[in-house]
Structure 1
């Protein structure tokens, strides 16, 4: 799948595309509806389809000290967009130059001249250009006057309300990975490189693969039933993971520490992806290590049960 940079012109083969415009970080059900409309439109007219995203997220540019909130990495987004059937992913590198581009110039200079876009698809709340002055009305009016067609996709409802990235983030912060998965159409997943740790888990009889969470949103600290995937081999694993600062040990260190059942291989240096399925309990400090081990036994037993249960 092509990975395009908004600062560079596209090849002739990709000109005349239909572009799904948005940030599409989580690529949830609402985002999928926008992308699906763009892909279907492109297929109907024999055109390429492009899904756009912004990196860094505009919030990160304007508020660099904001707590981490990303739901996906660019690599994960590229795989999701490819799976949806898009021809290419377009990355808008959000910097001072892009943030200072007027909404009109964004349409004429970037979308039309640089990319030769035939049409764009957005959600109704999409804004763009300096001061976020651009909106769907400008796309329809000013864009239409310059030959750019546009379509607007209505919000998607799920689990009693509009599907949004903010709802998904709230669900994860509250320890509701099942709700997040319903809105995303897949479990929330953190990807990272397995690093050497202090071997506490191994000494307790529960060796773990240690990952730094980096720019991802922090789900509620605690223990989860998870699945893991080794990206190099595609091997899939089941386990229980602690997400948090490990209050039993000093000094506090934020890590995602999955323990995989019935696995004895070496994962150091491997890139893995951990998917969050069920929240088991919050983080806690125990009176003794024996108490911690007894609780870990219960956590793993419950995680095995939940992950082996037939899906509804």
Structure 2
């Protein structure tokens, strides 16, 4: 998959494609349906498929403190898009310059001159351009003039429920991993590199991998039974994700995973933590002794959960 970053890298050499535009946060089953249709249209026209995304996401630009937590950071999003057969991703820096483009300028600069677009798939509620003045009807009129077709992406429902990134955030915040998995089409996971931390887990005889989050706040919090992918092999574990209220907080969310019955140096390695079952909410303990007892109880609860997942004989 080709990644093109920024308006300055657009040019005639990239001309001709079938495209869609959006945040694609989570690359959930609704997004996957759009990508499937995109691949079909690209094959019909003999052109590459292209997904246009923004970094930061528009709500993060306008209201960084009120923006919703991301389901996927940029690297994970790109990996998922590649896995669903996208040929090209255009990642536009959402900044003042882009924000001030009129709807007509966005169509002319990005879609027509930059991408040479032949077909566009977007939701019928899609808005764009300065003050969100552009809409689906505007795109249809522009397409008729500039020679590209526009099709509305269909809403996808799972078990009678509309699939959306907002809904997935809601169920993750509630600890409902089963519903999140149905809407995503896969278990929810977070990837990151293992960094050096405070080493508190070692003092409590519960060493953890401190995994870099690179996000203001995650969409879920608490203690979970997890599987951690190490060298492509899943390892059973327990993870705490949140603000660590018992220890001195740095104001940032942390993801710490303990792998059951596993001992190896993981520093610097990139791990995928797959959230399987919520054990409890995060809470503050009055002493390290209470925290240690809670951790031991969490390990026992995780082992009990994983025991139920073993195939019966």
- The answer, yes or no, to whether TM exceeds 0.5 is yes
1:237-291 Cα distance to aligned partner (Å, 9 max, x none):
2211111233333456642111011211111122222222211101234466555
**Correspondence for 2:237:** 239
**Correspondence for 1:185:** 185
**Correspondence for 1:137:** 137
Q: Does the aligned pair in 2 maintain the 1:50–1:86 contact within 8 Å?
A: yes
Q: Does the aligned pair in 2 maintain the 1:103–1:130 contact within 8 Å?
A: yes
Aligned residue for 1:194, secondary structure, equals strand
**Correspondence for 2:258:** 259
**Correspondence for 1:269:** 268
**Correspondence for 2:227:** 227
1:100-151 Cα distance to aligned partner (Å, 9 max, x none):
1111121122101111111111122221111111111111122222101111
| 1:204/1:128 CA distance change after superposition, 3 Å | same
Aligned residue for 1:210, secondary structure, equals strand
Q: Map residues 63-212 of structure 1 onto 2, 5 A cutoff.
A: 63-66=63-66, 69-212=69-212
Deviating beyond 4 angstroms after TM superposition, the runs of 4 or more aligned structure 1 residues are 286-291
Q: Does the aligned pair in 2 maintain the 1:194–1:211 contact within 8 Å?
A: yes
1:3-56 Cα distance to aligned partner (Å, 9 max, x none):
0124122563x4221012211111111111112111111012221111221111
Matched, 1:284 2:283: yes
Q: Does the aligned pair in 2 maintain the 1:68–1:218 contact within 8 Å?
A: no
Report the Cα offset of residue 158 of structure 1. 2.1
Aligned residue for 1:72, secondary structure, equals coil
**Correspondence for 1:9:** 10
**Correspondence for 1:24:** 24
CA distance, structure 2, for counterparts of residue 302 and residue 126 of structure 1: 45
CA distance, structure 1, for counterparts of residue 17 and residue 249 of structure 2: 53
Report the Cα offset of residue 305 of structure 1. 4.2
**Correspondence for 1:50:** 50
Aligned residue for 1:303, secondary structure, equals helix
Q: Does the aligned pair in 1 maintain the 2:71–2:218 contact within 8 Å?
A: no
Q: Structure 1 regions of 5+ residues with no counterpart?
A: none
Q: Does the aligned pair in 2 maintain the 1:140–1:149 contact within 8 Å?
A: yes
| 1:285/1:105 CA distance change after superposition, 3 Å | closer
Q: Does the aligned pair in 2 maintain the 1:126–1:135 contact within 8 Å?
A: yes
Aligned residue for 2:266, secondary structure, equals coil
Q: Give the TM-score, by structure 2 length.
A: 0.90
CA distance, structure 2, for counterparts of residue 164 and residue 49 of structure 1: 22
CA distance, structure 2, for counterparts of residue 284 and residue 73 of structure 1: 26
Q: Structure 2 regions of 5+ residues with no counterpart?
A: none
Q: Does the aligned pair in 2 maintain the 1:68–1:215 contact within 8 Å?
A: no
Q: Give the TM-score, by structure 1 length.
A: 0.90
User: How many aligned residue pairs are there?
Assistant: 308
Report the Cα offset of residue 179 of structure 1. 1.8
CA distance, structure 2, for counterparts of residue 264 and residue 310 of structure 1: 22
Aligned residue for 1:118, secondary structure, equals strand
